Amino acid sequence: MTLRPAPARPVRLITFDLDDTLWDVRPALEAAERAQWQSLAMRYPTLSLATTPPSELAAIRQTLLSDRPELMHHISAFRQVFIDRLLQHHGVPSGESALAAGEAFNAFLSERHNVTVYEGAVSVLTALGEQYQLGALTNGNADVYKTPIGPCFDYAWRAEEFGVSKPDPALFHRAFAQAGMEASEVIHVGDCHDNDVSGAVSAGATAIWFNPDGGTSSVAARVVEKLADLPGVIGELTGRYQ
């Protein structure tokens, strides 16, 4: 384990990535994708949209991002506009395609929030919430307040709300500013070393790398393999033991 210096200022806020940090995102995304395609199949059973060749899907994505590059950091809008374009590609009139795309995206989003949090996550968040403010900071489009752990959080930020994504330090700075915090008062916890660890450190925050497989980091203050270890590790970093 690589040990980095503890925060220079008293920590007031702990922020968490969501997908693959507090829950396994794969089951929810797979269910969400199924719900999206089922919605479209019910409306257009003869179009076989779910079996559109990958090359056609890739071409539509590339054209969409070329036309509207700002959607790169607005993943919900991107998905809905992509569905709209896919429908038009299959001959559905534009007005009708927009309505159907909205319905399909809503079906996707309803399953997107049907997550199963990792074992011990609630107790860890509850314990940390007794001493720090907690925030969710994600590049994904999950709204933590629509999940079982929503009540644990004081703040929730999605990259698409800002038009900039992790690891860009600007996202961290804007989120911290909304909470009235300096970066030096924040510890960020996440599973992605590039997006979460390097991004948070570049922004001036302290980072903890959640990696169930273990490993070392030259920039993370600590590496933890189990969420249950977080209260103790954060207590070591801040001098505020549970």
Please indicate, yes or no, if residue 5 is contained in any of the structural domains. Answer: no
CA 149 to mean position of chain CA atoms: 14
For residue 9, pLDDT over 80 is answered with: no
Rounded distance, CA 126 to CA 98, Å? 42
Higher pLDDT, 242 or 179: 179
Domain tally, the chain: 2
Which of 93, 112, 131 is the last residue before a domain boundary?
112
19 and 135, same domain (yes or no): yes
For residue 207, pLDDT over 80 is answered with: yes
Rounded distance, CA 138 to CA 25, Å? 12
pLDDT value at residue 4 = 54
pLDDT tens digits, residue range 49-97?
Answer: 988 899 999 999 999 999 999 999 999 999 999 999 999 999 999 999 9
Alpha carbons within 13 angstroms on the beta-carbon side of residue 77 total 15
CATH of the domain at 98: 1.20.120.1600
Both tokens assigned to 113: 């929030």
Rounded distance, CA 96 to CA 44, Å? 11
pLDDT value at residue 5 = 52
145 and 190, same domain (yes or no): yes
pLDDT value at residue 108 = 97
Which of 70, 86, 112 is the last residue before a domain boundary?
112
121 and 234, same domain (yes or no): yes
Please indicate, yes or no, if residue 7 is contained in any of the structural domains. Answer: no
What is the pLDDT averaged over residues 198-222? 96
Both tokens assigned to 4: 């980095």
Tracing tokens 């539509």 back to the chain, one arrives at 60
pLDDT tens digits, residue range 25-53?
Answer: 999 999 999 999 999 999 999 998 988 89
17 and 129, same domain (yes or no): yes
Please indicate, yes or no, if residue 1 is contained in any of the structural domains. Answer: no
Rounded distance, CA 38 to CA 100, Å? 12
For residue 6, pLDDT over 60 is answered with: no
Please indicate, yes or no, if residue 134 is contained in any of the structural domains. Answer: yes
198 and 157, same domain (yes or no): yes
206 and 137, same domain (yes or no): yes
Please indicate, yes or no, if residue 6 is contained in any of the structural domains. Answer: no
For residue 2, pLDDT over 50 is answered with: no
45 and 69, same domain (yes or no): yes
Q: What domain range includes position 97?
A: 27-112
For residue 3, pLDDT over 60 is answered with: no
Per-residue pLDDT band at 236 (split at 50, 70, 90): very high
148: phi then psi, degrees, rounded to nearest 5: -60, -20
78 and 193, same domain (yes or no): no
19 and 131, same domain (yes or no): yes
Both tokens assigned to 204: 């001036």
